[in-house]
Structure 1
């Protein structure tokens, strides 16, 4: 359990360190991030000024899901018309169709595009807004700096579509050109030109004065409608509301409103035409059918009437009923007459007038009954034919009357018919800019620039791989970091003044962490010196070098000498960087009469010991030596102005510094100096810049490699150490110089106090 807790704690600490490392990398590169943020802001401002403002117009349409025009008048007539499928999604697609948009394109001449070539991208940025064309039913107008362009008509053949023409004014009119073709015409007059690729129809009303060409293009219908659709938004407002919201964006508020209004009107007209078309087609069909049905009805009635005339009857069914009733009446009468006759014959004979009268009546009634019976017996065959003809007449009459009724109803419908689409709101000019949103663009561009800067900082950090972590340095080089020297804020502040000379920490910042770190380095060097060397009477020689220039080796050498001198030890500082050494500036001395001068003069003396010593005299003259006594070593060792510290400057720049250092004269010089001092500190050129450090290291008791925090490259430091190893030289320690303290430096040990008087 304890082991797991420790692992979790270690993992959490590593994560915190990684997060802090990322934060510190960003903080160290804040200048780059701010620079790119400013660049992003500038780009955002330029873009906001370059882009023309975009405006938007809105409109609302209500769609009735089902039409009530016909069904409201009755189910019979509604069944005659096809069902009306007018869902909102279908209407949205109809609004976007060429069927609706093409009339708008033709009415407003939206296929004509005018462009002013004189307006450059710089002009768009400077002016913040450029003129755009206005398409109306009268024509197309574009304002320019030299006047306006107005074209009322421009139609071309298929091969000329989407190809730019140049239009310019002349003294007599205008010139229209494309390629090698030119056409001349007059203003305010319609022209029809015949070109190599077809016909061109154009009417130019006005053009800018002077030599001011304008580009004019006739777009194809497909490109124009696609352009409208790209700027047109058609959506249902809400869910199943039947209300469609249309919005159109454009560079001209008036143009957007006008175009959207015409789109709405075109859709309503198409919708109205579609609804009326159904009714009109039905009426036309009925008008064609009514005369035919009337003829059929008249023919069937004529045949029926002729049958009735031939059969001698009016209505077979009714006549049969009359005959039966009459037959029944006759039977009743006969019965009554027989009863009366029976009564009369009781009193009278058959010759009695009353009996004779009854017999006559009975004879008439029986005859009539026989006639009725004969008629009834013949009735079924006639009735079948009668019923067939009667049914034809009834059917034709019913169809004719139904169609006639529906025809009259449809005429009423057509008179009061309305569209199933209703305009709620037509577009109005709001003059509110929807894009570019300048504040948002500038904010996003600034953030984008900052992100690019942060990414660049990370990339630079990965590519540079600068020296930061002492533990990483030790693992990469195999050399211990013997000291980390924090940056002295006072010294850094003074160093910003290039005219001021470098100063010693003991003089200006003797209570700082930097000074204490130099003392710690001194202690480390004393304790790490081998016992045999420490007990020797000869001086301990420390070589201070670096992997590249600018790491602060001269600063370390001078201040290290000062803290050694505090031990009442005699210290000699030698500036062996005979090319670019600057230790003399720290001590406030001259660079001449130094190491290079001594080695050159010493060499010249030996080489000119013969009879002819004119070259030696010449060298004496160049360096200002008048007597041979001036060649004494003491003349090249200068007091530094600080107690117990002497200094040998670099001298005059020689042509062969490495040759001088590798000579026996330099060995003899160090041998002589070791007997006179307790510590000798040699500041040498960088390892990667010259081989001088490798030569001097042969004589050193300890070799110290100075590297600069957050400046030196890890690969250069590692390579310098390897180069020393290849020369059989051991680097005894690395000094990490100029460590920046505070939160911005992850690997600086965040000292918050200095031991001693910290003022």
Structure 2
């Protein structure tokens, strides 16, 4: 029995996958087709190889016959170093620059482009320096014509051999030869950054050793163009060989470079020493030490004599001033006492002359009151005062001259004392000058020796096998790719289906609800595409409208036990997004189409959506919350008649109103039940769009006011773990009629259900013709694959 059960489960699981056999086959076919197209248009990769021998520069050619150790060096280590050197960025950079690999030219086909090398009918010359191209990239297309070329399929014809400035990087197209018709066509130009080229060249280059005891290296380069990879490998070998020669000459080049640098340095130093010597002499005011000493001594002697002369004049000036100050009013003053100041001597003579004239007038009989005598007396006093001031000024001048001469005498003495130090410093500068001149001559000799040694060169490698490419491409491996594609084509749909089965915990069909909840499912609402109208219309013959007619009929049976004239129908759901507002709207439309008076209430006070479906601006829109809060409001203040709406419905609407801070407490207010009682007097059906029951308690608080509760679930959205919550909600008011609605049925066909609105509603009711018009090619293909 256990074996049979296992076998049954295996068949059941296999059947679940076999339902999708068309998708599995299609995936395999598509995968193989993709592999074919890939192999059809993928670029072939070729390989070229060459062999070189690394020559031993140590002249130690003796080796033991075993591989245990090497007396004169480690050969394997040396070859590893050479391999790394060949693949170094420095060598590859020079290869890229020498062949201008940053520019690639392709013949442009419909799908596949082929790279050209030396067969390209033109050459691209970039309008900026090569160094600036290293970090830039460009991609454009040119079409060659007889008299010019087109750029990126634009109608402008650009001439050859002239700079094109329309691109970010200017360029010139230079034809290589006379353009032939077979070479005129469309070409693609690519400018690659140097870092990208270095990475590609390094990845495509392989270097291996030929044997453990051999010093031969095998170089293999892969690429799409045989001529290009041959040229690149040949350039790589040549540059590596030249680099080896350059390394052996590097010591002598460095010697010459060092000597040249030292020449410049010594020349600068010698010039600097000469300038230093001149500057020192200039700063110390030196011409010749001996002559400068004589001049200093003469200056000192002259200064001393001048100071003695000034001291004599100062003494004489003091005597003269003292005589004037102590003499009587009309006494004569001494003259020509040795003062060299002409002004003082002149004033002394004038003073004596005036005194003598005055005395003469007095002796001739004139009294002191005589006007002439009085005038002469005033003149004597004025001249005497002037003389006194002149003597004082003369003394100040002499004092200043003495001070300055003392400074000069001190400076002369200081300069004379500094002569030995100046002589010592000057000899030190001249000594450095002699040393630099001797070193300059020595380095000149060494440079000539290094130049002779630089001329001696030896080869680095020996080219054993020139670059040549394989006859057939090394990539792609067609058999392997076809096999992998077929396996992937099988595994992808199986893996997707398996993951979906394992991870999907959403309800899919009506049977999921009936099996777990044991509650009646009164309607299945089909999937509505986002591009279609989600609100049904009067006398609508669509599948959506028919599903709501079924809901209306089943709701009538559900409410028949209530035996009430006016019915209150709650439409709710577990969580947001299951379509309760969508169901409420269309249910109201369907009920109103039977000439019943219907009012639709938006009781989801936290997240109202009713106004959005009716194209109303929520701001300032009064509704239920305003009615409950403001007792002055009446029904007419919040009721919106259907004929007043833009879409002209047959039912009336009461929106949720302003979002309150306490929706649950507000709905528990007696004003809400009073509002329902008022509505029952006028309307046959009161459809209420309530809040989700799992998120908030708003609907639970007012659920006792309902005659029927329609609980909306959504296929491929509502999780099965919510079944317990639905049952618990139904048990709160077990006497209220309770019905389940599954929304969005038919969007996911992965379970292979044979339920189809297109067939069930189309047959015998005149809807098939209307439905068939919607069967576009997309829907027809999808329906064909849904069949089992």
For the criterion TM > 0.5, the same-fold answer is no
Q: TM-score range by the shorter chain?
A: 0.3 to 0.5
**Given the two structures, how large is their TM-score scaled by the length of structure 1?**
0.44
Higher relative contact order, chain-length normalized (CA < 8 Å, sep 6+): 1
